[in-house]
Amino acid sequence: MIYWIHIARAIDRVTLHRDRCSEVPSSISSSDFWEGGWFDYPDKERALAAMEQAGTTDERKCALCKP
């Protein structure tokens, strides 16, 4: 299973999603660590580590897919 994190720097939030979540866009055109975006990880441990390093103060898990 692939896990996605969505970094939204404008609202200082990072959110963890599962790969089949309806909020994950079907095509991702660009991602930039400094601006934010969608990033995929092969396992939950790596995704959680990336969330901690994202530099945001609000860390959430998606309420729809409940990763």
Residues 16, 48 contacting (CB under 8 angstroms): yes
Any idea where the domains of the chain sit in the sequence? 3-61
Residues 7, 36 contacting (CB under 8 angstroms): yes
Residues 14, 59 contacting (CB under 8 angstroms): yes
Percent of residues, the chain, with pLDDT higher than 90: 69
The residue type at 30: S
**Structure-token match 């998606």, residue found:** 62
Q: Tell me how far apart the alpha carbons of residues 42 and 65 are, in angstroms, rounded to a whole number.
A: 17
pLDDT tens track for 11-51: 999 999 999 899 998 887 666 666 789 999 999 999 999 99
pLDDT at 32: 66
Residues 61, 16 contacting (CB under 8 angstroms): yes
**Residue 67 pLDDT grade (very low, low, confident, very high; cuts 50, 70, 90):** confident
pLDDT at 27: 81
